[in-house]
Every structure is written in structure tokens, then in C-alpha cells.
Amino acid sequence: MKRIRTNILALLLGALAISCASSSKSTTKANKGSKPNIIYILADDLGYGDLSSYGQQKFTTPNIDALAEGGIKFTQHYCGSAVCAPSRSTLMTGQHTGHTPIRGNKELKGQEGQTPLPKNAYTVAEVMKDAGYTTGAFGKWGLGFIGSEGDAINQGFDTFYGYNCQRVAHRYYPEYLWDNDQKDFLPGNDWTNKVTYAPDVIQEKTLEFIEDNKNKPFFVYVPFTLPHAELIAPADSVINKFKGKYPETPHDETKRYTSDYGPNIKKEMYCPQETPHAAFASMIYTLDIYVGQIVDKVEELGIADNTIIMFASDNGPHEEGGADPAFFNSGGNLRGVKRDLYEGGVRTPFIVKWPNKIKAGETSTHISAFWDVLPTLADIVGIEVSAPTDGISFLPTLMGQEQKESHPYMYWELPVRGGRQAVRLNQWKGVKYNITKPNARLELYNLENDPEETEDVSAQYPEVVKEIEKIMVDARVDNPTFPLFSSSKKRS
């Protein structure tokens, strides 16, 4: 605990002194030597514009920017969904939300955790296990309560440490975290006193896993909780860097879904915050420091040249707990936030660094998504995926080769607020909201000319509208646990 905070202070001072459904069958040759270690880092509710390498101007992310400078930055990579659980389900299974088992954030009464992935799901962790890798997950899971079929250690991970439940992950000073199937109580935390910052503990466990497995191929999935609400950070030099820098409107207990630590705490809610802008910036800055520590660790261990590091976010920026995506331009001028299927809700920063394999400083406009990660990693480690997947390996793009395979379309659905669907078809983006209503209509945007999705051109291109509406029918199968259409209006 102390070591993590000391490292954060050292890195901060250093920064100030210098002022971050098919099968994959690609035959790309990635690595003729030993199998590369793979670290996949996932931020939580980080917007497309929340990194300085993607245009953020109110704070910097030097370590993540350095990843981009040393590797490849994607500008048209997409999340699996616009909320946490289904987005992570697409990442784990290689299936978009028309096929993946988990399509929404569904709570389970009496359980600490969400609807579990089924036993027969074939996850990216199981792909890596089949390839001889040691696997670990550190952070927020959200795909099945402890002991369920969807528990991380029942879905291909040798080790899990962190939050099993997304609701508990709303709090950064929880009473305990999960160490596989055992509770690890955090010193001093009792829902009133805030002593141990959970992300510090998770980061320490992540670094220990990397060190313990340095002599064999490992896959580590690092789904950080930062910068998801609640907005809170330790009272240290990081938040002090940002206090007083921005105008502030306190977020207090008069606001919706807000409850302070103390004897009357409502644990699933978010804490009040006197300086929400400073807290938000400090959380992303802390995330950046954690990424820097991971990079430093693989370099210190001498395994950096044989380690792939990937970085993305699970969905667009949130507005909860006092977060202010408009102030920070967290969406990077893209329309929409978390829960939206417009670009701002589903387009994510995506960076991949692989020394001596990926050319440094590259930018790619290749259109890809979370469901491509499983077949890409399978391609890298030489495993042919026999389970159904909607993904396409983007390894050729990573290697600077011709990307012969591309998606005929991209599909999303989200069973919230009357049901939402979206399709990307080449330069076209079709979005339909309130799909259970008789007058629901498809909006159409030309992303080539209008990436901000400001002008609906559906009336001008009826043939494109018709094609996208057909895709919205054909690209999915019904999932009774996450029904997209009400019983009063069946999809024809």
C-alpha cells in the first residue's frame, strides 16, 4: 500500500520535472520466438477525449501517451457496448451484443454480483489457457457472482483480485475485495472510515502477478475502476495538483444517487464531492500513473521486448457523481455519453505497444471493436478458435501488413430506455432509439463527413436506411434474459 503511493509521488515529481460470427483463421506470422506476454488494460467510463494523446487539454496523461508514441493508436476502435457488463462480455467472448450472453447490467436480488456468463462461454482467458498461458484478472469483473458459472476463476482465469460486483465497485473505500473466492478485508475501511484506497491494493496485486510470472508466458487482464463514479481520490499530492485549477460546483447529498460514508451509507450510491473537477482529473492522472508503473515493471524485469500492452475503455464518459464530460470534452467532440449508441458512447481510445513488432508512432483508421480482441490474441498465440465469434483478427494491422479481412458491418444493441440499436456500415451509422414504440425511426449519419453525428440524412438515403434496418434484424438472436423488444411488440 505504502509502496504504491510512494511510487505515485515519485512519478508525479518526475513528470513535473520534465513537464501517456466467424472463426479467426488469419495466417499472419506474429512471433517466431517465445510467446509474448499480453497485458490488456481497461479503463472504466473513460471517454474518447480523456487522454491528451486523443485531444484532452485540461490535464495530461504522459504514460498512456508514451504507449501511443511507442506503438499504434487506433482512431476507429469501438467498445462492445455503452455500459459496463455487456461491453466486457463482448471482450471476453468475441461476440457483439447481438450474440454475446450478457447484453445489459442486470442485477440479481440477494447476490453480490451481476448475471453470470454461462459455463459454455469460451472466453479470451480460456483461449490463453489453451495456448499455455498463466492468466490473471485484477480490477472489476461484473460477469458473475462468486461461485457462479461466470466467476472469473470459472471462466479461464487462474487468479482474480478485485471487485466481483459492479455495485460494490461504486465505492473506492470498500470494506473488502475478493481474492479469488475469499474476502480480503482492507485495513481501516468500515464504510465510515476511509483508510485504504482499493485501486492501490489492486495495482499492487497486478504488479506482483507480473513479477511472479516473469519467467513464463502470462496474460493479465487489468479492468481498472478508474475513472468510474464515485469521484474520490486520496488526499495526497495527486489531487493537490488539480485542486484550485478548475471552477468547481460541489456535488452534495441533495443530488440524485448520492450518499456519504458513515453509519447511514447507501453503499451502491456515490459519495458527495466538494471538488468534482479536481477529483475527476486526479483519478485519470492516477490511472495514468498506474499504467506507467506497469510499463516500468516489465522493463525492470527485462521482459518489455516480449510483452504486448493494450489499453482501451469499456464505454463512453459518465455523468454520475459530479462528473462533467462537457467541461472536459471527454467525448472528444463526439456525440453522446455512456448509455448512448452514438459515437461518444461506443468509440474508445485504443493503443497497442509491442516493441520490435509494431512500428512506433503509428496511427490506424482500421475499424475494429472489442469482439476482435479474442481472435486477434488467438492469432498472436497460434490458436485457431472453433467457438462462434463475430470478431476478425486485426493482427495484420498491428504488424503493418495489409488488413485483407474487414467487417461488413458493426452492430450494437442495448435494452435500456425503450431499447436501442446501432449499426456502422462503412461510412454510414444508423441509430434507433425507443425501438419498442410504433413511431421509432432510424437516424442516419455519414461519419466520413459528419463524425459528430449532427445531421440526420436518413431522408436522403432511403436505400441505406433499408439495408441497415435489415442488418438490425439479421445480426442478432433473442436473449430472454435481456429482451430488446417488449412482449407487446415482437420483431418481425
Would you say residue 378 lies in a domain? yes
What confidence tens digit (pLDDT) does each residue in 338-375 have?
999 999 999 999 999 999 999 999 999 999 999 999 99
Q: Are residues 231 and 109 in the same domain?
A: yes
Q: Are residues 342 and 385 in the same domain?
A: yes
Q: pLDDT over 70 for what percent of the chain?
A: 92
Q: pLDDT over 90 for what percent of the chain?
A: 90
Tell me how far CA of residue 299 lies from CA of 120, 148, 295, 303, in angstroms. Answer: 37, 37, 6, 6
What does the DSSP 8-state code read for residue 110? T
Q: Are residues 318 and 363 in the same domain?
A: yes
Residue 438: is the preceding peptide bond cis (ω within 30°)?
no
Domain count, the chain: 2
Would you say residue 490 lies in a domain? no
At residue 11, does pLDDT exceed 50?
no
Which of 163, 127, 120, 159 minimizes the C-alpha distance to 145? 163
Range of the domain at 366: 2-407
29 vs 377, higher pLDDT: 377
What confidence tens digit (pLDDT) does each residue in 274-288 have?
999 999 999 999 999
Which of 48, 346, 468 minimizes the C-alpha distance to 457? 468
415-422: long-range contacts, CB 8 A cutoff, minimum separation 24: 415/103, 415/104, 415/482, 415/483, 415/484, 416/83, 416/104, 416/339, 417/339, 419/484, 419/485, 420/82, 420/341, 421/341, 421/472, 421/484, 422/341, 422/342, 422/346
Q: Are residues 201 and 298 in the same domain?
A: yes
* Averaged confidence pLDDT in the chain: 93
What confidence tens digit (pLDDT) does each residue in 391-416 have?
999 999 999 999 999 999 999 999 99
pLDDT of residue 327: 98
80 vs 32, higher pLDDT: 80
Q: Are residues 422 and 313 in the same domain?
A: no
Question: Grid coordinates standing for 164?
Answer: 466481483
pLDDT of residue 178: 98
Q: Are residues 307 and 436 in the same domain?
A: no
Q: Are residues 81 and 61 in the same domain?
A: yes
Q: Are residues 385 and 465 in the same domain?
A: no
Contacts of 128 (CB under 8 A, 6+ apart): 38, 135, 156, 219, 377, 381
Distance of CA 291 to the CA centre of its chain: 14
What is the pLDDT averaged over residues 147-172? 98
What is the pLDDT averaged over residues 320-330? 98
At residue 13, does pLDDT exceed 60?
no
Tell me how far CA of residue 180 lies from CA of 145, 154, 159, 161, in angstroms. Answer: 11, 10, 6, 6
Q: Are residues 362 and 468 in the same domain?
A: no
Would you say residue 117 lies in a domain? yes
pLDDT of residue 486: 60
Distance of CA 127 to the CA centre of its chain: 19
Q: Are residues 314 and 441 in the same domain?
A: no
Q: Are residues 144 and 222 in the same domain?
A: yes
